[in-house]
Chains A and B, each alone.
Chain A
Amino acid sequence: MTLEVTDVTKKFKIRKGLKSSDLVAVNNASFSIEPGQTVALVGESGSGKSTIAKMILRLERPTSGSITLDGVRSTARGEEAKKYRNLVQMVFQDPFASLNPYHTIAHHLERPLLIHHKTRGREETRAKVEELLARVNLSPDMADRRPHELSGGQRQRVAIARALAPGARYLIADEPVSMLDVSIRLSVLNLLARLQREENLGVLYITHDLATARHFSDEIMVMLKGNIVERGPSDEVILNPQHDYTRTLLDAAPDPSHHGRMKRQVHDEYLATTGS
């Protein structure tokens, strides 16, 4: 059950007065993700990362090319579409915006269960909700709380549980930890990694943080202006980058072991220019 992205292009029309032009957000992207594989997609803002995610999730239609999972095209309709949706789910960036403040946590988890006919009856549904909470290390009593009573990390765990509820085999995680406090980011990533191992999930991890991309994923794809310019095993891409842009990204990423690096560089350059 491989997720196949083949020659996908997405163009957006931009109108300026009477003229209109095309913005190519994604240009001829092809890649695949196997079950049990985590692929990181990195690149700067506006490089097309999120557009790829949206197309995989059926939130945008590709202009050309195809995305298939288990023989089902992402553009299918009816029963086929439902099957596809079951299998591919999203974890959004901002857990403060992705949960409805009106509803309890249980409501958020029941909805996908009921819509996708995963459970029947109140008791079975409740049991499944508690099981989902347990899988993301939350206690069962969380079910009756509302989002405002939860911390950012807890909310993101709920969002992950919700994505798992319809039986997803693929998770698309768009910057899943960038809104969280630094000290809990790793625990949420570790949770994702554990679930991925245990359930053999395929994960597309979209981020601009190269360090976690390296340690969290098996492969890294680097995107620049709509093109995937480099793909390879994580360590390979980070330690032995082939594309100039990958090198630029790597140089720009802060690394704790480089303490004082920029300070010294700028100081030396300044002395050189003033000639003192």
Chain B
Amino acid sequence: MKPLTTPAHDAYLAARTPVLTADHMTIEYEVTPPVRAVKDVSLTLHRGEILGLAGESGCGKTTLAYGLNRLLKPPAMLHDGQVTLHDKDGTDIDVTGLVDDELRRFRWDKVSMVFQGAMNALNPVISIKAQLFDVFSTHRPDMTKAEKKAAAEELLEMVGVDKSRLTAYPHELSGGMRQRIMIAMALALRPQVMIMDEPTTALDVVVQRGILREIMRLREQFHFAVIFITHDLPMLLEISDRVAIMKEGEIVEINTAEEIYENPQHDYTRKLLSSFPSLLGERGGFVRSHEGGTSDDA
């Protein structure tokens, strides 16, 4: 099924160059019976764009992200489809066909990821410094120790963490700081695409806003594209250029953030939008008004 959209979306697309294209991706969990988590999804991410991917738990959004980055682990298998990265230098990389060393060179260098539950994604027994150095040792073996140190310090400053914290261990840092370190790590090799899977879900709103602003500012500076995965649609609408709505393994609607809000086409999009009452606006069908809107039926 083709996702619903409006003419405004075509107008938006006209002026963009793609950086990552997914064609007809189908991902299956090969258990009995097989579970088709992603069904024939096609998606284009453009240079410097923030694409929000919204959907509820179990809709396949994380599986899709893993598929784009070749991170699927058995029993998950890419059943069908192709992912292509349109590199800065003009070459096209067939991501689905990469093997061994090619794959290692591609990952993190071209496409990096900020994982879900990043609060716990850092290794607790080695320092931040060692974890950042790891990235450089693997991908930039020619760098000297002094260069690595300078680069690591620069990264911390970029994400708003004091460089004196470089030698700290994860448990010595607050949740927000750990999240910033994860983002620094994903930025380390100046990738063209960053995939962020619920990067701020566990944080409270004030800290969340600080980190989102940091991501947005870095995007202005480095022009990377972002796929931002979350179920928090109001937040996506604030930061994204485009929003894709995912349901049961399919993208049911895709459009610019403005159109998604002003002119939603799919019933499910409308349902999601109505799940978030407006903070300053009218009460709508919500609570205490009795009739209409959302009922409390199961």
Contact = CB atoms under 8 A, between A and B. Distances in A.
Q: Is chain B a partner of chain A in the same complex?
A: yes
A95 to B, nearest CB: 13
A18 interface: no
A260 B258 contact: yes
A266 B57 CA distance: 30
B151 interface: no
Interface stretch (A8-16, A76-84, A164-172, A178-186): A178-186
B163 to A, nearest CB: 21
Main secondary structure of the interface of A (DSSP, over half): helix
B257 A266 contact: no
B144 interface: no
A248 B206 CA distance: 7
B298 A186 contact: no
B87 to A, nearest CB: 25
Nearest to B294: A186
Contacts of A2: none
Nearest to A193: B287
B239 interface: yes
Contacts, number: 144
B216 A262 contact: yes
A165 B151 CA distance: 60
B50 A263 contact: yes
A253 to B, nearest CB: 5
Interface residues of A, number: 49
A270 interface: yes
A210 B209 CA distance: 15
B169 interface: no
A229 interface: no
Contact of B238 (A45, A157, A260): A260
Given A238-B279, A249-B205, A257-B280, A182 B56 contact: yes
Interface in B197-236: 204-209, 212-213, 216-217, 220-221, 231-235
Given A181-B56, A211-B279, A260-B238, 17 more contacts: A137-B298, A181-B57, A182-B275, A182-B276, A186-B274, A186-B287, A186-B294, A187-B297, A190-B295, A194-B296, A216-B288, A252-B208, A254-B238, A255-B280, A263-B238, A266-B220, A270-B217
Interface of B: 50, 56-57, 204-209, 212-213, 216-217, 220-221, 231-235, 237-241, 257-258, 260-261, 271-281, 283, 286-288, 294-298
